[in-house]
Structure 1
């Protein structure tokens, strides 16, 4: 799924212009990112839950050299599909 796809769906369902639909798609994506940053995640009923998870520092291997590399602790985004979505797919 891409921003263009979302804009196309908005344009088809509302009958607005492509420019307005693209702006609305951008605003939608910005709102989702803002909710993840502010609240640490969000839930979209019948679709799933997105949350921020902390990752621990660890050792990994450099695939090019095969040597060990230290990976710092950080954050990642996790998605859990709702039971409704799982049943549909």
Structure 2
């Protein structure tokens, strides 16, 4: 799924112009990111939940050289599908 796909669905369902639906799709994604930064989670009922998780620092390997490298701690976003979505797919 892409921003263009979301904009197209918005445009078809609301009869908005392409520019307006593209802006609406961008605003929707920005609102989701803002909520993830603020609360660490975002839930779409009957679809699923996005959760921010912290990752620990670890050792990794450079795939080109095979050299051991240190990977810094960070954050990642995980998605857990709702039971309704699982049944639909």
TM-score under structure 1 length normalisation: 0.96
Stretches of structure 1 that go unaligned for 5 or more consecutive residues are none
Q: Structure 1 stretches (4+) deviating beyond 2 angstroms? A: none
CA distance in 2, matches of 1:15, 1:43: 27
Residue 24 of structure 2 aligns with which residue? 24
TM-score under structure 2 length normalisation: 0.96
Aligned length, in residue pairs: 89
Displacement after TM superposition at 1:48 (Å)? 0.5
CA distance in 2, matches of 1:9, 1:44: 17
Displacement after TM superposition at 1:67 (Å)? 1.2
Instruction: Indicate the RMSD between aligned Cα atoms, in angstroms.
Output: 0.7
Does 2:47 correspond to 1:47? Answer: yes
